[in-house]
Amino acid sequence: MVDHNEARALAGKSTTLREGISLGDAVELREGWFFPLITQLAGCNGIIVNKGSGKLLHLGSAFPVARDLELYDRGYQFETYDLVITRIADSRETLDALRRLGLLAVIEARLGRKMKMSDLDDKRRNLPWVLPALSLYASIEALEQVREDGWFTFELREHVAQ
């Protein structure tokens, strides 16, 4: 378990820190330690150090810190994810949800063509369907809405580059 002092030392080694930037006072989360950055520069709202692994997450500046801290303790703790679709309840709604999430364009780019309903039906018969290496930072609320709507069921895993 990473304590406050170890977390500060790990965050202090981050490449985000450079001249004119320092760590503020820690805020303890359920699963991590948050260190705001003291700086006049934009781009990063701070660093979270995971209590279990010591892994760092650099927060962007596009959203309020409170949002990012809440989502961190709900499991959104990585830079990139593998979205693992484990059940598709409704193919048409799933396709629409993937479009709203901005993931349909990613899937089609990887396919090299437009995705058809028959493609999704094939995926539905061969679950789980893993969509690797996704940046979901700007899509988390929409993804949580998908979870609530139940059009498809998913798991999020940290993407590990091979």
Model pLDDT, residue 41? 65
Mean of pLDDT values over 3-26: 85
Of the candidates 15, 31, 30, 159, the one whose C-alpha atom is nearest the C-alpha of residue 83 is 159
**Sole residue written with tokens 């999704």:** 120
Of the candidates 41, 38, 36, the one whose C-alpha atom is nearest the C-alpha of residue 26 is 36
Kindly list the domain boundaries of the chain, sorted by start residue: 4-68, 81-158
- Find the Cα–Cα–Cα–Cα dihedral 132, 133, 139, 143, rounded to 10°: 20
Mean of pLDDT values over 98-112: 90
Model pLDDT, residue 56? 94
pLDDT tens, residue by residue, 125-160: 999 999 999 999 889 999 999 999 999 999 999 998
CA atoms of 137 and 45, how far apart (whole Å): 13
Note whether 45 and 65 are within 8 A (CB).
yes
